[in-house]
Chains A and B, each alone.
Chain A
Amino acid sequence: MYDTILVATDGSDSANRAVEQALDLASMFDAELYGISVVDTRRYGDSMLSGSSGVIDDLSDRAEEVLAGLEAQADVGVTTTVRRGRPHEEIERYADTVDADLIVLGNRGLGASGEIGSTAERVVRYIDRPVLTA
């Protein structure tokens, strides 16, 4: 059923639920587990001149920590990556790279302040793969 599962996390509560789901499914189906955390550069720009590189680096460190947490929780092998860009695009790209059978993510991440515009919504809309939101 699942050979390859990709979980996207930003360390939010709902992402942590997603991680639990992904870990359960990966061990149930003996699937390869991949983890991604995307530094959302839409907010801070991505230019050397913008003076935001410090913020981006901090966020990258944070993303690394979140993924280290995932690796520590996993009793199956997990491959992780930190990407920079628009979260749903980076998630799609990485899902294509690893050919994920399922993408797991939280339904309300750190950026979801309202009803519209969450990463989960965009992933559901734009990615032609099964998506589990927790």
Chain B
Amino acid sequence: MKLLVAVDGSEASENALTYAATLADAMDGSITVVHAADPTVHDEGGNEPDVSLWDADQRLVLESVADVEQRGLDLLDDASAVADDLGHDVAVELLYGNPVAEIADYAEAEGFDTIFVGHRGRSERAGLMLGSVAKSLVERATVPVTVVR
């Protein structure tokens, strides 16, 4: 059983990884953690307000591909460390481009059995208009997708 976990640094995506790890234990599966570096992403989001310039800085517009790439690699390192703590040796893969398309295509091309993805809680009004990676992945992916909060 090959499990693919898509991460974006959010708490929900860490939950998705923990969730997948528990399932992998039960099903004797292997886990690959994937992140799509997408330079068009401008805001990391998050529900908490900016309380300082430092906070604002953490959410700054990511414009250079090198920055986006580094951020993706850091995210994957973090995810790998989380999985390590759970006793899992995971493979990591950095993809480039639109998360939905890249992750769905990667899962199909590499023969993954299922995808796990986090979802940031109930969508607020803006979320209803914009859509989410999780929601779009559900529509696009050719393998089962489990959405975890």
Contacts and interface: CB of A to CB of B under 8 A. Distances in A.
Contacts of A128: 121-122, 149
B70 to A, nearest CB: 31
11 contacts: A21-B144, A102-B146, A107-B139, A121-B139, A124-B134, A125-B122, A128-B121, A129-B149, A132-B144, A132-B147, A133-B138
Nearest to B140: A107
**Shortest 9 CB-CB contacts between residues of A and residues of B:** A134-B144, A132-B146, A131-B147, A133-B138, A125-B123, A124-B147, A130-B148, A133-B145, A107-B138
Interface SS majority for chain A: mixed
Interface size class of A (residues with CB under 8 A): 20 to 34
Interface stretch (B21-29, B47-55, B61-69): B21-29
Interface string B35-59: 0000000000000000000000000
Contacts, number: 55
Interface of A: 1, 17, 21, 28-29, 102, 107-108, 115, 118, 120-121, 124-126, 128-134
Interface residues of B, number: 23
A127 B24 CA distance: 24
Contact of B135 (A29, A125, A129): A125
Contact of B145 (A29, A115, A132): A132
